[in-house]
Chain A
Amino acid sequence: MRISTRGAFLNGLQAMQRLQTALDYTQRQISSGRRILNPSDDPIGSARSIELREAISRLQQFDRNAGIVSNRLSQEETALSSVNNILQRVRELALQANNATQSNESRGLIAIEVREQLSNLVQLANQQDGNGSYLFAGNLEGTQPVSRMGSSFTYNGDQGQRFIQIGEGRDVADSDPGSRVFFQIRNGNGTFTALADPGNAGTGIVGAGSLVDPTAYDQDQYTVRFIDAANYEVLDSLGATVVTAAYQSGDTIAFRGIEFSLTGSPAAGDQFIVAPSRYQDIFSTIDSLAAAIERPVSDDISRAESNNAINASLLDLDQALGNILDVRTQVGARLAAVENQVDSNGAFELTLQTTLAGIQDLDYAEAISRLSAESTTLEAAQQSFIRTSQLSLFNYF
Chain B
Amino acid sequence: MIRTGHNAAGTIQSLIDDPRAIALAAPTRAQSSLANIGDATVSAATVVDSSDPALLTTAVIEFTSPTTYSINGAGSFTYTDGDPIIVNGSSTTISGTPAVGDQFTIEANYGASGDNSNALLLNDVQSNGVLDGGAISIGESYGQLVASVGGTAYQIQTGLEAQNVVYNNAEDAVLSKSAVNLDEEAANLIRYQQAYQAAAQVVSVTKILFDSLINATSR
Chain A 29-60: CB-based contact to B (< 8 A → 1; otherwise 0): 00000000011111110111011001000100
Given the known A-B contacts A184-B34, A279-B35, are A158 and B143 also in contact in the complex, defined by CB atoms under 8 Å?
A: no
CB<8 Å pairs between A and B, sample of 13: A5-B180, A5-B181, A5-B182, A38-B150, A39-B150, A40-B149, A47-B146, A50-B142, A140-B112, A161-B44, A163-B116, A183-B34, A278-B37
Given the known A-B contacts A43-B147, A155-B34, are A10 and B120 also in contact in the complex, defined by CB atoms under 8 Å?
A: no
Chain A 373-397: CB-based contact to B (< 8 A → 1; otherwise 0): 0000000000000000000111001
Interface residue ranges, A against B (CB under 8 Å): 1-7, 10-11, 14, 38-44, 46-48, 50-51, 54, 58, 133, 137-143, 155, 158-165, 171, 175, 179, 183-184, 219, 276-279, 281, 392-394, 397
Given the known A-B contacts A51-B143, A155-B34, are A46 and B114 also in contact in the complex, defined by CB atoms under 8 Å?
A: no
The answer on a CB contact under 8 Å between A7 and B179 is yes
The answer on a CB contact under 8 Å between B157 and A40 is yes
The answer on a CB contact under 8 Å between A46 and B111 is no
Closest Cβ of chain B to A360, distance in Å, is: 12
With A54-B139, A179-B34 already in contact, 13 other A-B pairs whose C-beta atoms are closer than 8 Å: A1-B172, A3-B181, A4-B179, A5-B180, A6-B175, A7-B171, A39-B146, A43-B150, A140-B112, A161-B44, A163-B116, A219-B99, A278-B37
Which of B24-32, B74-82, B194-202, B209-217 interfaces with chain A? B24-32
Closest Cβ of chain B to A183, distance in Å, is: 6
Chain B 125-155: CB-based contact to A (< 8 A → 1; otherwise 0): 0100000000000011011101111111110
The answer on a CB contact under 8 Å between B176 and A3 is yes
Closest Cβ of chain B to A393, distance in Å, is: 3
Q: Does B168 contact A (CB under 8 A)?
A: yes
Closest chain B residue to A391, Cβ basis: B183
What residues of B have a CB within 8 angstroms of the CB of A143 in the complex?
Answer: 111
What residues of B have a CB within 8 angstroms of the CB of A161 in the complex?
Answer: 44
Choose from A54, A141, A277, A394 the contact partner of B114 (Cβ within 8 Å). A141
Cα separation A266 to B46 with both chains bound (whole Å): 55
Interface residue ranges, B against A (CB under 8 Å): 25, 29, 31-32, 34-37, 44, 99, 109, 111-117, 120, 123, 126, 139-140, 142-144, 146-154, 157, 168, 171-172, 175-183, 186-187, 190
Cα separation A119 to B74 with both chains bound (whole Å): 43
Cα separation A397 to B171 with both chains bound (whole Å): 31
Cα separation A224 to B151 with both chains bound (whole Å): 88
What residues of B have a CB within 8 angstroms of the CB of A219 in the complex?
Answer: 37, 99
Choose from A38, A54, A165, A277 the contact partner of B120 (Cβ within 8 Å). A165
The answer on a CB contact under 8 Å between B142 and A277 is no
Total of A-B residue pairs, C-beta within 8 Å: 144
Closest Cβ of chain A to B35, distance in Å, is: 7
Closest Cβ of chain B to A334, distance in Å, is: 16
Cα separation A5 to B178 with both chains bound (whole Å): 11
The answer on a CB contact under 8 Å between A39 and B149 is yes
What residues of A have a CB within 8 angstroms of the CB of B144 in the complex?
Answer: 47
What residues of A have a CB within 8 angstroms of the CB of B179 in the complex?
Answer: 4-7
The answer on a CB contact under 8 Å between B44 and A160 is yes
The answer on a CB contact under 8 Å between A4 and B114 is no
The answer on a CB contact under 8 Å between B36 and A139 is no
The answer on a CB contact under 8 Å between B31 and A158 is yes
Given the known A-B contacts A7-B175, A47-B147, A155-B34, are A392 and B186 also in contact in the complex, defined by CB atoms under 8 Å?
A: yes
Cα separation A74 to B99 with both chains bound (whole Å): 36
What residues of A have a CB within 8 angstroms of the CB of B142 in the complex?
Answer: 50
The answer on a CB contact under 8 Å between B25 and A165 is no
Cα separation A397 to B189 with both chains bound (whole Å): 11
Given the known A-B contacts A51-B140, A54-B139, A277-B37, are A162 and B175 also in contact in the complex, defined by CB atoms under 8 Å?
A: no
Given the known A-B contacts A43-B148, A140-B111, are A394 and B182 also in contact in the complex, defined by CB atoms under 8 Å?
A: yes
Choose from B154, B172, B176 the contact partner of A40 (Cβ within 8 Å). B154
Closest Cβ of chain B to A110, distance in Å, is: 29
The answer on a CB contact under 8 Å between B183 and A393 is yes
Closest chain B residue to A39, Cβ basis: B150
Given the known A-B contacts A140-B114, A183-B34, A393-B187, are A4 and B150 also in contact in the complex, defined by CB atoms under 8 Å?
A: no
Per CB-CB distance, the 6 closest pairs between chain A and chain B, nearest first, are: A39-B150, A4-B179, A43-B150, A393-B186, A40-B153, A141-B114
What residues of B have a CB within 8 angstroms of the CB of A142 in the complex?
Answer: 111, 113
Closest chain B residue to A395, Cβ basis: B186
The answer on a CB contact under 8 Å between B148 and A139 is no
Given the known A-B contacts A139-B29, A393-B186, A394-B186, are A4 and B175 also in contact in the complex, defined by CB atoms under 8 Å?
A: yes
Cα separation A48 to B139 with both chains bound (whole Å): 11
Given the known A-B contacts A4-B181, A6-B180, are A139 and B150 also in contact in the complex, defined by CB atoms under 8 Å?
A: no
What residues of A have a CB within 8 angstroms of the CB of B114 in the complex?
Answer: 133, 137-141, 160, 162, 175
Closest Cβ of chain B to A67, distance in Å, is: 16
